Amino acid sequence: MEDVTFGQDQTRVEDVLGAFGPFERVGVAYSGGVDSATLLALAARALGPDRVVAVLGVSPSLAAAERAGAHDVAAFIGVPVVEVRTHEGDNPAYQRNGPDRCFHCKDELFTRIDGSVATVHRLDVIAYGENADDARRPDRPGSRAASEHAVLRPLADAGLDKAAVRRIARVLELPCADKPAAPCLASRIPHFEEVSPEKLAQVEAAESALRALGFVDCRVRHHGEMARVELLVEDIPRAVAPGLREDINAALRSAGFRFVTIDLAGIQSGAFTLPLVAGSAGVAASHG
């Protein structure tokens, strides 16, 4: 592979590369987002792409556009994708949608990998793309699932935060380097309201319609008959302007919502989970 340097992140990148050194074959739990894609690319640099497998969990909580994009990015890196059908939606604990929902989702993914993919593809270890910012947040129960399944987290262990991961992705010229965060569709449903395939499909259709209208970074929070739309703050004036406002309203009504509202706070990462695990709604950060 072409030699590149990573500037201020060089030492930490070397730590990530070194984490893969003891293994013959590695699987990366992969979504196509910047964290998992950067980890996948670094694993390929450390071992060679023929010794790395990208494992993509597929369920109703993964939007079709995200699935297709993940394949495109993996093809750019040169690593094969293995899709694993996950069934977290059959788990009553996941359906209940408590603050630990992500634990049940990741536990299902890692269990499926342990039960089939690791053996078939002769994988010595699985890694996933938790970064150092994620490791400090209280609303990431998926981290517990990773620990229980002995999954590696080389980015977090090396101290690479989100900003550093994006810098590395740009050096590697990954197509997703500046891709907005895209949490799973279930994150749009308030906690303790049941997650169902119908709700997930409704959210996916609504967000797809917003992207078609030019809103690249968006969330549609599902509040029964009402859609609460989160956009970048700078996009809100455009969204409420005559013409586009009517288009948004019509598109989201077509997705099955009766009422459509735009949240003036903009995009809020962890909007449903952080108030429950941190005790304050004010700690939700933008752009997560």
Q: Specify whether 184 is catalytic.
A: yes
Question: Rounded to an integer, what distance in angstroms lies between the CA atom of residue 233 and that of residue 104?
Answer: 32
The residue annotated as part of the active site, out of 102, 105, 176, 184, is 184
Phi, psi angle pair for 252, to nearest 5°: -75, -30
Which of helix, strand or coil describes residue 52?
strand
Question: Rounded to an integer, what distance in angstroms lies between the CA atom of residue 216 and that of residue 98?
Answer: 28
Single-letter code of the amino acid located at 167: R
Burial environment of residue 3 by CB neighbours within 10 A (0 to 12, 13 to 18, 19 or more): exposed
Strand boundaries in the chain, DSSP class E: 26-29, 52-58, 81-85, 125-128, 218-223, 226-231, 259-262
Strand partners, 226: 223, 259
The catalytic residue positions are 184
